[in-house]
Amino acid sequence: MKVLINDTPHELAATARLPDALAAIEAKPPFAVAINKEFVPRSQYAERALQADDRIEVIRPVTGG
């Protein structure tokens, strides 16, 4: 299935879950995730199934001043 991760198209297995998407972009903590503009708590990452055309945003904290 096709999904967008940070506005970049990715092809994932039809049974993909959020950790599969994070692995596809080699995401390194710390980060937060939203799917279709809905925040996903870290405790729900493993169980969160993905759907075709989901928009996944991996947001890293901004540091500095």
Position 64 scores a pLDDT of 79
Return d(Cα 38, Cα 45) in angstroms, integer: 13
Model confidence, pTM: 0.92
pLDDT reported for residue 63: 83
Domain that holds residue 29: 2-59
pLDDT of residue 47: 97
pLDDT mean for each 10 residues of the chain (65 residues): 98 98 97 98 98 98 82
Name the 3-class secondary structure at 27.
coil
Structural domains in the chain (count): 1
Q: What pLDDT score was predicted for residue 21?
A: 98
Task: Tell me, yes or no, whether 65 lies in a domain.
Answer: no
Report yes or no on 40 lying in a domain: yes
Looking at residue 44, its amino acid is Q
- CA-closest candidate to residue 57, choices 24, 35, 41, 38: 35
50 burial type by CB count under 10 A (0-12 exposed, 13-18 middle, 19+ buried): buried
- Residue 28 inside a domain? The answer is yes
Q: Is 8 helix (H, G, I), strand (E, B) or coil?
A: strand
